[in-house]
């Protein structure tokens, strides 16, 4: 699956089958369902889950909490748009980077 395929799937009513929970969280975020994305992300206990969790709190505007989760992910808060970060995370998870 490419980034464009993933973006195209946002027109569907449910996420693509057989995608990992990290991508499922980002799919729900792409659907503007922050709560569902957050619910999924907080159950992913690895650096990718922390990165998504950080991104979601950055999007929410809670910079303190976002910084905490970026640190847990071994990253720092980026100086790019939320849309660019979303695409970066999806691309990395899809293996495009």
Question: Residue 43 is part of which domain span?
Answer: 25-94
Between vectors from CA 42 to CA 67 and to CA 22, what angle results, nearest 5°? 95
Contact 48, 25 (CB under 8 A): no
Q: Look at residue 89 and tell me if it is in a domain.
A: yes
Task: Identify whether 10 is part of a domain.
Answer: no
Q: Is 80 exceeded by the pLDDT of residue 97?
A: no
Residue 9 has pLDDT above 90, yes or no: yes
Q: Residue 32 domain-assigned?
A: yes
Residue 89's pLDDT is 97
Asked if residue 65 belongs to a domain, the reply is yes
Judge whether 15 lies within some domain.
no
Q: What is the pLDDT of residues 30-78, one digit of tens each?
A: 999 999 999 999 999 999 999 999 999 999 999 999 999 999 999 999 9
- Collapse the DSSP code of 43 into the 3-class scheme (helix H, G, I; strand E, B; otherwise coil) and give the result: coil
- What's the predicted TM-score (pTM) here? 0.94
Residue 3 pLDDT greater than 80, yes or no: yes
């Amino acid at each position: 699956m490419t980034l464009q395929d993933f973006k195209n799937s946002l027109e569907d009513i449910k996420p693509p089958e057989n995608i990992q929970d990290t991508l499922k969280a980002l799919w729900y975020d792409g659907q503007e369902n922050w709560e569902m994305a957050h619910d999924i992300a907080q159950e992913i206990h690895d650096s990718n889950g922390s990165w998504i969790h950080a991104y979601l709190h950055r999007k929410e505007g809670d910079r303190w909490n976002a910084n905490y989760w970026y640190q847990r992910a071994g990253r720092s808060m980026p100086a790019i748009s939320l849309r660019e970060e979303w695409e970066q995370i999806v691309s990395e998870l899809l293996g495009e980077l």
